[in-house]
Amino acid sequence: MSKMTAATIPKSSRRWLLFVHQLPATPSNLRVQTWRRLQQFGAIPRKQSVYLLPDTPTTREDLEWLTTQVKAAGGDAEVFVGGPADSWSDDGLIEEFRRSRQEAYAGLARDIERAGQRVSGKRRARGSRAPSVHRMLDGFRQRLAAIERIDFFGSAGRDRVAQLVAQFEKRVSDRADRQPARTPSTDIKADNYQGRLWVTRPRPGVDRMASAWLIRRFIDPQARFAFAADPRSVPDSSVPFDMFGVEFSHQGDHCTFETLCAVFGIQNAAVTRLGGIVHDLDLKDEKFGASEAPTVAAMIEGLQLANSDDDTLLAEGMRLFESLFRSFEQSTRLAGPRPMVRRQNRVKRGR
């Protein structure tokens, strides 16, 4: 059975959803959060505090969730269902949705073309913080999928963007063939990395959190951590990691966590299991199919939302991975048949 979408609904039976809301003065970020959610849903504004979406099962569920969230925050919101009003023709509304999505496709196309010029060598990126081509490719794929999800009426521009993504992917592949991945050194001794300052990028995510935990747990117990936006600003006496162009970072198809394990010869079943989670979340290729990855991703996102200070965020992230490590280590010890706990028969009392 084909999926029901806004475009497949007959015009005679097409209906629209109106989201009308009123937000309290506090919390101050509620207005921005609500606006962003509506943008993610693909809603278009009609007037102040009124947004429009085609009526489909998905859009109805999205707005129901948002209504609940707004009310829970002390605001008010309602969703109304109906056909187009006299002043809003059905064709006009559809054209407005298509125009909005077409602009999104065009913006993505421009970004892909610029990135393609850099990859092909026609234009160099400034500085050494340029993201890896693999991350750029993954980002383009995600952006295309996000626009497609809210392209309710088949806007122009989608096919061109898909073609540009395919061309960019080919450039990435050709570049990888010309420049084999650098193999990290294997003669590095942990004795030379004791009591050091380890520097990484601000706003740590899964790979930086896990790598910092690995460093302090297995490499440098007295490690201190700091943040720098540019590898060129890292002091000579410190050790940069998970930064563009440094040794302790992505190498080949390894994330930084895996690179550190390989370089320092860390072999531990629980660490290997953690490495699969970090790899799948950071590189998003589902190489290990780690079932815990979505849960860990949600926990890290929560930590990032709850902590604006990078030092606190990194410390909380390291604590998270220490907890996971201990759990995995315990489950490894207990692997195999466990003794069955027998319940004692209770004496039945007479009534």
Concatenating the DSSP letter of every residue in 48-67 gives TTEEEEE--HHHHHHHHHHH
Closest C-alpha among 34, 88, 28, 83 to residue 63 = 34
The boundaries of the domain holding residue 76 are 14-88
Q: How many CA atoms lie within 13 A of 63 on its CB side?
A: 25
Closest C-alpha among 301, 273, 299 to residue 288 = 273
Q: Is residue 4 part of a domain?
A: no
Based on the domain organization, do 132 and 166 belong to the same domain?
yes
pLDDT of the residue at 217: 96
Of residues 272 and 187, more confidently modeled: 272
Q: Is residue 286 part of a domain?
A: yes
Based on the domain organization, do 194 and 255 belong to the same domain?
yes
Count of the separate structural domains present in the chain: 3
pLDDT of the residue at 12: 54
Packing angle between helix 293-306 and helix 269-283, nearest 10 degrees? Answer: 70
Based on the domain organization, do 205 and 315 belong to the same domain?
yes
Based on the domain organization, do 26 and 128 belong to the same domain?
no
pLDDT of the residue at 268: 92
pLDDT of the residue at 113: 92
pLDDT digits (tens, 9 = 90+) for 5-63: 555 455 556 789 999 999 998 888 888 989 999 999 999 998 889 999 999 988 998 99
pLDDT of the residue at 194: 94
Instruction: Give the confidence band of 88 by pLDDT, cuts at 50, 70, 90.
Output: low
Based on the domain organization, do 73 and 98 belong to the same domain?
no
For residue 261, pLDDT beyond 60: yes
Based on the domain organization, do 141 and 75 belong to the same domain?
no
Tokens of 140: 């383009």
Q: Is residue 351 part of a domain?
A: no
pLDDT of the residue at 126: 42
pLDDT digits (tens, 9 = 90+) for 212-242: 999 999 999 999 999 998 888 888 899 999 9
Helix, strand or coil for residue 94?
helix
Based on the domain organization, do 102 and 58 belong to the same domain?
no
pLDDT of the residue at 298: 93
Q: Is residue 9 part of a domain?
A: no
pLDDT digits (tens, 9 = 90+) for 266-313: 999 999 999 999 999 988 888 888 889 999 999 999 999 999 999 999
| Residue found by looking up tokens 């209504």 in the block | 67
What percentage of the chain exceeds 70 in pLDDT?
81
Kindly report the average pLDDT of the chain as a whole number. Answer: 83
Asked whether 258 and 230 are in contact (CB, 8 A), the reply is no
Q: Are strands 44-47 and 50-54 parallel, antiparallel or unpaired?
A: antiparallel
Closest C-alpha among 129, 127, 128, 133 to residue 115 = 133
pLDDT of the residue at 175: 61
Segment 198-212 mean pLDDT: 95
Based on the domain organization, do 195 and 328 belong to the same domain?
yes
Q: Are strands 239-240 and 44-47 parallel, antiparallel or unpaired?
A: unpaired
pLDDT of the residue at 332: 63
